[in-house]
Amino acid sequence: MTLFAELKRRNVFRVGFAYVVVSWLALQVCDVVLNNIEAPDWVFQAIMLLLAIGFPMALVFAWAFEMTPEGLKREHEVDRSQTITHETGQKLNRVTIAVLIIAVGYFAVDKFMLSADRESAAIESAVEEAASSALDERLAKQATAAELKPSIAVLPFVDMSPDKDQDYFADGLSEELLNLLSKIPNLQVAARTSSFSFKGENLEITEIAQRLKVAHVLEGSVRTSGRRVRVTAQLIHAEDGFHLWSETYDRTLDDIFAIQDEIASEVVAQLKLALLGAAPKVKETNPLAYSLYLQGHHLTLQESADGFKRAAELLQQAVSIDPGYVAAWAELSAVYSGQASAGLVPIDKGYTMARQAANKALAIDPAYVRAYSLLARISLGYDNDLAAAARYLEQGFELEPTNHSIITQAARVAQALGKIDTAIEMGKFLVARDPVGSRGLNVLGISYMYSGQWDNAISAFRNVLTLSPTYFGAHYRIGTALLAKGEPAAALIEMQQEPDEEYQVKGTAVAMHDLGRQEEFETLFAELRDRWGEQWPSEVAHVYAWIGEADAAFEWLDKAVEQNEDGLSEQFDNEYFVSLHDDPRWVEFRERTGSSQAQLDKIKFKVKLPD
């Protein structure tokens, strides 16, 4: 018998053809599955390699072995009169035909049904990519324009004291200088969150400046010993790392304000730009009050119960020493607001004291911009008075249109008023001016969520987490956006990573509901009601609205209104309430709370961002 005839008799050709057909179909399935689970490319390549190696092995196997009624045997052990290779060949033909039918069906579905969806998705992706590219291009243009202006970053000064216990003083001095230079209209100063993000990192000045998109960097050190203080400051041209100016000040603490003035004046002089005008002057206070203020501010930034409590004590001492110390009064207002918002003191008491302290600051200095931002925060979160918040912010904008605190609050007011495009523009401005700060990106992400731009929102919050991996609310908001897109499994992963416990429980509960895991949902929802329902009834209302129980949602919303829940006026466009929008009670509720769109449209809020 010829070799060809023997190969045919032993079904080697049939096995080879069947192997190729089955392998092709297996690769199509693997391609779809691996793409959906986002497996790395090497997994598919490894499967292809294994199938390729298996082909000659299958041919050798078909040549060397034969299927018999007694099972698999070596070919030379089978009596030719007892062979059933013909029957085996027929079975292989049927298997091959069946696989070919499946393959043809798959090809038809892929060609005539799925291709249209892919083309649509490709067009949508291209549109999104174009929009994203346009945004990136616009931000790049803003950054380029910013580079043409005089610009500077003030890095946190290093504590060189023997006991390393003056970190608050070094940080405070840096921030005071930053705030002082920020008052110069034509000088662009990197925000505190960006400048201080490099604290403790061993990076070259040129790299820091490149990330912050500034032309100059001011850095220095502080060393205290008793009443003596040594401050060293140096101004660096970022492009080449050249020191434009350096000075060391050996003074007493009584001279700390004069040191700040001299540093600011020298910075302006060294930049040699007449358009900057004269350097602003720091407002002097009692040195002990100043030290207490710096310690209090340092503790406020910790945003903890103990930090707020100790900060309030220190700041109260500061204003008792110097009742005219405007910055200390403003800081006290921030502390009281923080305590009220976190539920550490009764809400009415906390916000009443916060308002009194902010008004005290304005009575001392009507041009103190931070006080307007603080009063806007109180009007927005506690009073639910958007008109008053808008007025305070308009006054703040007139005094200092580049103030990050004012712009951040203004974005929140714009969101609450339904002016989402304005809020997005403000978010983009904050990101352009504070490129490595997470707060501006958070503002932008929330604005995208209010406009239903889920992918842009997710991208913004991913960048927030890149800059601040433990940022409260970022994972929760990514999860919420994924829920809105109909992706509960991915949302669950995000919700479970959220560091804020209340957000984690609430978000996980909603994701469990959408996944059909009812028992787990009920357990978590009960925990949300029991632990946080009294303080944050609107959070419970969110869940009831999401699962379609409108009666319960309105019941909990009424509780939120009755107790004047903090931040309620900012929630009415929240994605969790979408299911209530067609309910007649929703219109009545918005009217009753003064938040219908017609009522909001009557509120004047016109602010213009700097070019």
Least confident span in 243-252, 260-269, 502-511: 260-269
pLDDT at 76: 65
Q: What is the pLDDT of residue 73?
A: 67
308, two tokens: 């707020």
Residue 503 or residue 269, greater confidence? 503
Distance CA 562, CA 550 (A): 18
Contact 577, 550 (CB under 8 A): no
228 within a domain of the structure (yes/no): yes
Total tally of structural domains belonging to the chain = 3
Residues 99 and 116 in one domain: yes
81-85, 199-203, 545-549: which range is least confident on average?
81-85
| Shared domain check, 222 and 208 | yes
User: Between these two residues, 95 and 118, which has the higher pLDDT value?
Assistant: 95
pLDDT at 295: 92
pLDDT above 50: residue 135: no
Beta-carbon count within 10 A of 317 CB: 16
Q: Look at residue 275 and tell me whether its pLDDT is greater than 50.
A: no
Average pLDDT, stretch 16-27?
A: 79
Q: Judge contact between 162 and 220, C-beta under 8 A.
A: no
Report if residue 145 sits inside a domain: no
Q: What is the pLDDT of residue 242?
A: 79
Report how far residue 209's alpha carbon sits from residue 197's, in angstroms, rounded to the nearest whole number.
12
Gyration radius from the chain CA atoms? 33
- The residue range of the domain holding 30 is 3-122
As a whole number of angstroms, the distance between CA 372 and CA 409 comes to 10
Residue in 416, 393, 417 with CA at minimum distance from that of residue 405: 393
Determine, yes or no, domain membership for 552: no
Burial label, 229 (beta-carbon count in 10 A; 0-12, 13-18, 19+): buried
pLDDT of residue 174: 86
Q: Which of 54-58, 91-95, 108-112, 582-586 has the lowest mean pLDDT?
A: 108-112
The answer, yes or no, to whether residue 139 has pLDDT greater than 50, is no
Q: Are residues 92 and 173 both part of a single domain? A: no
Number of C-alpha atoms within 13 angstroms, CB side, residue 590? 20
- The CATH number of whichever domain residue 328 belongs to comes to 1.25.40.10
* Domain identity same for 276 and 312: no
Domain boundary among 265, 283, 301: 283
> Which are the contacts of 511, defined by CB distance < 8 A and separation ≥ 6?
479, 483, 488, 491, 492, 495
Name the band, by pLDDT with cuts 50, 70 and 90, for residue 69: low
Residues in the chain: 611
* 156 and 275 belong to one structural domain: yes
Residue 176: name the closest of 308, 328, 299 by CA: 328
Same-domain check for residues 227 and 113: no
φ/ψ (deg, to 5) at 38: 55, 45
Tell me the average pLDDT across 146-150. 55
Cα dihedral 17, 22, 25, 30 sign? negative
Spacing of C-alpha 415 from chain mean position: 17
Which helix (H) or strand (E) covers residue 16, if one does? helix 12-36
Q: How many CB atoms lie within 10 A of CB 602?
A: 10
Tell me how far apart the alpha carbons of residues 449 and 464 are, in angstroms, rounded to a whole number: 15
* Domain shared by 262 and 177, yes or no: yes
Rounded CA-CA distance 351/363 in Å is: 18
Tell me how crowded residue 126 is: count the other CB atoms within 10 A of its CB.
10
Given a contact cutoff of 8 angstroms between Cβ atoms, the answer to whether 230 and 237 are in contact is no
317 with 290: CB under 8 angstroms?
A: no
Nearest to 510 by CA among 532, 531, 536, 484: 484
User: How far is residue 369's CA from residue 407's CA, in Å, rounded to a whole number?
Assistant: 11
The average confidence (pLDDT) of the chain is 84
Banded model confidence at residue 109, pLDDT cuts 50, 70, 90: low
> Nearest Cα to 209, choosing from 245, 175, 238?
238
- 279 and 293 share a domain? no
The neighbouring-strand residues paired with 230 are 223, 250
Whether pTM exceeds 0.75: no
Integer Cα distance of 378 and 388 in angstroms: 10
Do residues 574 and 394 touch, judged by C-beta distance below 8 A?
Answer: no
Angle at 257 between CA 255 and CA 259, to 5 degrees: 70
Higher pLDDT, 45 or 269: 45
Give residue 110's pLDDT: 58
Q: Which residue has the tokens 């009424």?
A: 558
- Looking at 237, 263, 283, the residue that finishes a domain is 283
pLDDT greater than 80 at residue 6: no
* Cα 287–Cα 292–Cα 296 angle in degrees, nearest 5: 145
> In this predicted model, which residue has the larger pLDDT, 8 or 484?
484
C-beta of residue 303 within 8 angstroms of C-beta of residue 338: yes
Task: Compute the distance between CA of residue 222 and CA of residue 58 in angstroms, rounded to an integer.
Answer: 77
Pick the closest to residue 522 from 538, 534, 510, 504 (CA basis): 510
Question: Is the same domain home to 266 and 336?
Answer: no
Is residue 155 domain-shared with residue 259, that is, in the same domain? yes
Bridge pairing between strands 242-252 and 228-237: antiparallel
Distance CA 212, CA 287 (A): 33
Name the least confident of 26-40, 316-330, 371-385, 395-409. Answer: 26-40
Please report whether residue 433 resides in a domain: no
End-to-end, the C-alpha distance of the chain in Å comes to 90
Is the residue at 547 inside a domain?
no
Alpha helices, DSSP H, located in 213-281: 256-271
**What CATH number should be reported for the domain holding residue 175?**
3.40.50.10070
The pLDDT of residue 400 is above 60: yes
Mean pLDDT of 463-486: 93
Domain end residue (candidates: 239, 262, 283)? 283
What is the structure's pLDDT at 206?
A: 85
- The listed range with the strongest mean pLDDT (118-127, 188-197, 294-303) is 294-303
Confidence of residue 89 (pLDDT cuts 50, 70, 90): low
Task: Report residue 182's pLDDT band, with 50, 70 and 90 as the boundaries.
Answer: confident
**Statement to judge: residues 156 and 244 lie in one domain:** yes
Residue 127: per-residue pLDDT: 42
Asked whether residue 322 falls in the same domain as residue 250, the answer is no
Q: In the numeric block, which tokens belong to residue 326?
A: 């405007």
Band (pLDDT 50/70/90 cuts) for residue 513 is very high
372 found inside a domain: no
The number of beta carbons lying within 10 Å of the beta carbon of residue 557 is: 27
Provide φ and ψ at 72, rounded to 5°.
Answer: -80, 130
Tell me whether residue 51 is in a domain: yes
Average pLDDT over residues 63-81: 66
94 domain-assigned? yes
Is 119's pLDDT higher than 70? no
| Range of 27-31, 211-215, 289-293 with top mean pLDDT | 289-293
**How much is the pLDDT for 68?**
63
- Distance CA(126)–CA(268), nearest Å, equals 47
Residue 355 amino acid letter:
R
Specify which residues 247 forms β-bridges with.
233
